[in-house]
Structure 1
Amino acid sequence: MKDFANSNSFSGSNPNISDPIESLYIHVPFCTRKCGYCDYYSINSELANFDQYLSGIELELKAILVEIAKNDLQLNKLKTLYIGGGTPSALPPDVMTSIIDLIKREIGFTDVLEFTIEVNPEPVGHQTVLAAIENGANRISLGYQAKQDHLLETIGRLHTNIDFLETLRLIRVYGINNISCDLMFGLPDQRLNDVLQSAKQLIELDIPHISFYSLILEPGTLFYHKYNKRPDLLPAEEVERAMYHSLLKFFQQNGYDYYELSSCSKPGFYSQHNYNYWTTKPYLALGPSAHSYYNGTRKGNARSINKWLADPEKNAEYEKIDLFQAMQEYVMLAFRLSEGFSPQKFNRRFGQEHPFTSELDHLLKQGLIYFDPIRMSYRLTERGLDFANQVFIEFV
């Protein structure tokens, strides 16, 4: 960790404290089967007690609302709601409806602009998706990963490409056109042409938002144990980087805006919920392992449904984010966005000039960032895209 000598010389408070809370995430920790690469907390849906889970969500929400009222925070106009997992479509339809009714009753729903639910393209769960849509969901994040069935089988997905196409058809029959799909690259036995064919299918299907992620071997996952000591079984680093840059170029050539390191969208279809994360705005989160950030405090729920059910507030971990930490995070996350880091926007958010001149100069000399005179912001170079973590580390 760098030693920032001037980190205590700023006056003021973390602006996250006074920002209105406009985003809510709900984690559904149930899956039919855990994928080999997945590090998110989940349990087998066959072992689920859905009534207990619903009670836990209600208990946690009411505890948070008491805290919000006690601290005189603003939560009167929820703008984005995101139900993720896990597999939200693993919930019974009546439980999904009850969760949404709870949010409508306790917070209000009239100002929600974007309500996303994650869906796996499996033959089960369609009635749950319909229940969410009938109760206000207007955006679907549909698991895709790859077009090739052999790759889907390799990474432990339960669907085929035909399942994906059928689920997509049903979602559109239900009236939803705001759809996001995840595409993965750097997979075992995956070739550059596989990646481009997967991307081509999404373009032809007119998917308005596409997120694309490289395989990361997270400790504790099946893939970590299988491939961490056998990197020769994965695409070489230069091939993995070629996949990333080829995707960027391909999407941009087909009318998509590259707006974040791993996200492209057609104009008007960027993820409003995730954009709030990347601009350090407050958000609430419910469910085991879910993370909130509001009132200048980051809260991480227990990665155990039993601990979470026992006492979601007591068994959570808390970290107070002071003003300088908030500044660091703001700049670091700004570099995730294609708009980059704007000193003017920083000034408006914090009421003072940024203290990172030496860090920016160092990154400029390394060729990882450049100053865009049109946007009046610092942005990642093409080399910076490949070494983004080195950029982020400058502000930690």
Structure 2
Amino acid sequence: MSKSSEESKLKNPNISDPIESLYIHVPFCTRKCGYCDYYSISSKVADFSAFYQGLQTELAATLSDIKQNNLCLNRLKTFYMGGGTPSVLPPDVMTSVISLIRKEIGFAQDLEFTIEVNPEPIGHNTVSAAIEAGANRISIGYQAKQDSLLQKIGRLHSYEDFLIIVNLIRESGIENISCDLMFGLPGQTLNDVLESAGQLIELEIPHVSFYSLILEQGTLFYKKYAAHPELLPSDDLERMMYRNLLHLFEQHQYHYYELSSTTKPGFYSKHNYNYWSTKPYLGIGPAAHSYYNGIRRGNVRSFKKWSDNPFASAELEPVNFFQAMQEYAMLAFRLAEGFSPDKFKQRFSINHPFDAELERLLNKDLISYNSNTKAYLLTEKGLDFGNQVFIEFV
């Protein structure tokens, strides 16, 4: 597929979309988990004052950039605080951050406001403060039910701690709870995975994201397990874990809507869906990412460098029309609704240029065409080998 001169003149639709989503990266953790590649530093040496001041500076510069480029910024429809572990912030800092965003941008009436938390007792007061200040969706780092597995992967909570935080959240009036579940962990069995998922179903947790362990270079787990794959579940067992999770949640009226996410009706992640739809979002904080005005911004992975110059330290990557089309198609295959040529045309105002790519994927039985929804979907084989699909659009 080649880029035509006509396509090169067209603009990435991300430029004209209204900005309605914000992500804040809180880079502090009580202790870094051995598998985690996200940027974080110990909360024991955290300078919370410098963090708040950095957010103020970066937000002001971002809003100025939006104004200078005549972009449309609406009141936020999704606001996500991730990390790191946002729940390690002192309650007063959490409240100040939320107040800052409410004042400078504002919240829409139908705002989805998510806070990531770990089930450690140290963060209970901060979680309560966040809910009181407007958070209405809580994402919990559950990972597994078995305390022995939690200890093996370096988590500081127990299953009992998890039950306590769920009760605290529900007593605060919040039902929109999401939990992260991991599979493919060292020593983990299929029964372990299904038991962990079964507990979430029994607790009526309405949204679950499940991720396989990925050995990221630079992590403790990479050093420990990259040369010893025999200590991890085999690829076949990992695929079996994934398939069984999909089936188990489906049996209990959860709707699989994205490769790693399943939900009860009305509880899908609006914020993440915004990412997958290639819509604009702002990201502030060290290592945070933004995508607006057709440009990706990646903040530096250093608290000191970020706090010294929060906005100017970012790396910029313009996304042209051709690249935007590729990314849209790739991310569409992450979603259960698949790649719709009609929706593509609505977004880009031209017919998609991916006939050859789709034909190859159909011939490999990685995708199929649904004549009812008029969309291309991943097959069972495609679910197992999704990267072979995605690479066609890179």
What TM-score do you get using the length of structure 1 for normalisation?
0.98
Partner SS, residue 141 of structure 2: strand
Residue deviations 1:93-137 (CA, integer Å, cap 9, x gap): 000000000001100124352000001001111111111101110
Q: Structure 1 residues 266, 152: closer, same or farther in 2, change over 3 A?
A: same
> Within the alignment, does 1:386 sit opposite 2:368 as a pair?
no
Aligned to 2:24: 26
Structure 1 residue 375: Cα displacement: 1.1
Is 1:5 aligned to residue 25 of structure 2?
no
Structure 1 residues 65-119: Cα deviation after superposition (integer angstroms, max 9, x where no partner): 0000001111122100000110000000000000000001100124352000001
The code of the aligned residue for 1:49 comes to: D
CA contact under 8 A between 1:8 and 1:324: conserved in structure 2? no
Rounded Cα–Cα distance in structure 1 between residues aligned with 2:4 and 2:147? 52
Q: Which structure 2 residues correspond to residues 84-233 of structure 1 after superposition, within 5 A?
A: 84-233=82-231
Superposed CA RMSD in Å reads 0.8
- The correspondence of residues 278-297 of structure 1 with structure 2, limited to 5 A, is 278-297=276-295
- Note if 1:360 corresponds to 2:358: yes
Shift of 1:314: 1.9
2:37 — aligned with what?
Answer: 39
Q: C-alpha separation between the residues in 2 aligned to 1:6 and 1:281?
A: 22
SS of residue in 2 equivalent to 1:111: strand
Unaligned runs of 5+ in 1: none
Question: Are residues 38 and 8 of structure 1, via their aligned partners in 2, closer, same or farther at CA, if it must alter by over 3 Å?
Answer: farther
- Choose the corresponding residue for 1:276, options 249, 268, 274: 274
The 8 Å contact of residues 288 and 304 in structure 1, kept in 2 or not, is answered as yes
User: What is the CA-CA distance between 1:313 and the residue it aligns to?
Assistant: 2.1
Match in the other structure for 1:255: 253
2:371 pairs with 1:373? yes
2:257–2:335 contact (8 Å) kept in structure 1: yes
Distance, in Å, in 1 between the alignment partners of 2:296 and 2:110 is 23
Give the counterpart letter for 2:207 in structure 1.
H
Instruction: State whether residues 3 and 322 of structure 2, in contact with CA within 8 Å, keep that contact through their aligned partners in structure 1.
Output: no
Report the count of equivalent residues: 393
- Report the TM-score when normalising by structure 2: 0.99
Rounded to whole Å, the distance in 2 between the matches of 1:287 and 1:116 is 16
CA distance in 2 between counterparts of 1:112 and 1:203 reads 27
Distance 1:7 1:161, change over 3 A: farther
Counterpart-to-counterpart distance in 2, 1:227 and 1:112: 44
Q: Which amino acid aligns with 1:356?
A: F
Contact 2:16 2:293 in 1 (8 A): yes
- Contact 1:20 1:74 survives alignment (8 Å): yes
The answer to whether the Cα contact below 8 Å between 2:57 and 2:311 also exists between their aligned partners in 1 is no
CA shift at 1:8, angstroms? 4.5
**Aligned-pair distance for 1:6?**
2.9
Measured in 2, the distance between the counterparts of 1:303 and 1:78 equals 26
Matched position secondary structure for 2:75: coil
Q: Is the 8 A contact 1:19 1:281 kept in 2?
A: yes
User: Is the 1:288–1:301 contact (alpha carbons within 8 Å) kept by the matching residues of 2?
Assistant: yes
Q: For the Cα contact (< 8 Å) 1:116–1:140, is it kept in 2?
A: yes
Larger deviation, residues 308-317 vs 248-257: 308-317
Q: Where does residue 72 of structure 1 map in the other structure? A: 70
**Aligned partner of 1:163: which letter?**
D
Q: Which SS does the other structure have where 1:184 is aligned?
A: strand
How far apart, in 2, do the equivalents of 1:313 and 1:54 lie? 14
Rounded to whole Å, the distance in 2 between the matches of 1:331 and 1:225 is 35
* Aligned sequence identity (%): 66
